[in-house]
Amino acid sequence: MTKDEAEDLLYERRDDIGVITFNRPASRNALTFAMYDKLAEICRDVTGTHAAGERSVGALVVTGAGGRAFAAGTDISSFRGIREAGDALAYETRINEVLDAVECCPVPTIAAIAGACTGGGAAIAAACDLRIATRDLKFGFPIARTLGNCLSTASLARLVALIGSGRTREILLTARLIGTEEAQAIGLISESVDDFAAVQTRAVELAHTLAGHAPLTIQATKEALRRLRLRAADADDHDLITLCYMSEDFREGQAAFLEKRPPVWKGR
């Protein structure tokens, strides 16, 4: 990892909690592979203990720098290497492994969201245990009108467990974004606050509270809920991933995104 890549995701320990910050505010914290990998590494590392037997941290806060976005999805440059079906499947496998690391983290994870939370950023937030947001939240997966790719069944299963099958279907097919009031009404977020500073403060406060709770109770509860969710995530999706990522439409979606114009879909 280069110095610049290391600075794209920051990790800070504050007493008994850890704070992860996506740090590419000029790009609305668009996620690179290095950022995804570092996030997964941190979530896996907190399973360990120090030599004295103390927990590494008791809770994690995940947030984005700048106040305009939590994370606006995968950086478009990360898709340039997808040329064959194997590339597409490898990409989705890699993302699923990252999201699994977030979900399997044995300590509570809190997504502190300001502004846009879309694509890969929304998938990360959905994999966290709790989500709090500012009043300008825009959450969703607008890929049906932007890139023309698809979500894995594992990501769909997390969304269904979180907001229900009907609403998951509706937001993906319409490609609309959920605002703060609706997000709180449907249980997507547990709290809303006024601004970026407030969401940071509240997330840290909540993390300290959770870090003081019985760690084995939290670990067992998280794992039991994950096992319940896995019952809906076993379907084979390789044909569907290949269908989207190998299409002319996916290449058109990338080109249109970079050229800042609406894509022209062909259905092939």
Question: Each residue's pLDDT tens digit in the chain (268 positions)?
Answer: 565 667 999 999 999 999 999 999 999 999 999 999 999 999 999 864 544 555 589 999 999 999 999 999 999 999 989 999 999 999 999 999 999 999 999 999 999 999 999 999 999 999 999 999 999 999 999 999 999 999 999 999 999 999 999 999 999 999 999 999 999 999 999 999 999 999 999 999 999 999 999 999 999 999 999 998 887 666 789 999 999 999 999 999 999 999 999 999 999 9
CATH number, span 3-194: 3.90.226.10
Q: What is the pLDDT of residue 232?
A: 63
**Burial 34-65, CB ≥16 within 10 A → b, else e:** bbbbbbbebbeebeeeeeeeebebbbbbbbbb
CA nearest 119: which of 72, 68, 55? Answer: 72
Report CA-CA distances (Å) from 15 to 22, 54, 192.
Answer: 20, 12, 25
In this predicted structure, what is the pLDDT of residue 51?
A: 45
Cβ-contact 123, 144 below 8 angstroms? no
Phi, psi of 18 (to 5 degrees): -115, 145
Prediction pTM value: 0.93
Query: What does the pLDDT read at residue 46?
Result: 87
Q: What is the structure's pLDDT at 54?
A: 55
Give yes or no for a contact between 125 and 141, defined as CB atoms under 8 angstroms apart.
no
pLDDT the model gives residue 50: 47
Q: Return the pLDDT at 188.
A: 97
